Amino acid sequence: MRIEAFLLGVIVTCSLTAGVFFLKFWRRTSDSLFLAFAVAFLIVGVNRISTLMVDRPNEASPWTYLVRLFAFLLILAAILHKNYWAKR
């Protein structure tokens, strides 16, 4: 269990760091794609933190997958917006 918690902490750190970097890029360029990536990575990081705080973490919980699905759909929507709707 200790190694799983350690690795989950590494994933949390990487997710939150990526989110902060994308926030920095968004502030510099005002590109909505960077904002979507930042929000998605921060959501995934907070989701992983909540997994760490539970006594019996269950990665197979439907709520865990729904939160991750929301984050990935946010990225997909931002990509589609940038490539198709923003050009018009």
Residue-wise pLDDT for 60-72, tens only, equals 888 889 999 999 9
How many angstroms separate the CA atoms of 35 and 26, rounded? 6
Domain count for the chain, please give it. 1
| Confidence grade of residue 4 (pLDDT, cut at 50, 70, 90) | confident
How far is 77 from 60, CA to CA, in rounded Å?
Answer: 25
C-alpha triplet 18, 19, 24: angle, nearest 5°? 95
Angstrom distance (rounded) from CA 7 to CA 16: 14
pLDDT at 87 over 80: no
pLDDT at 39 over 80: yes
What is the share, in percent, of the chain residues with pLDDT greater than 90?
Answer: 70
Residue range of the domain that includes 75: 2-85
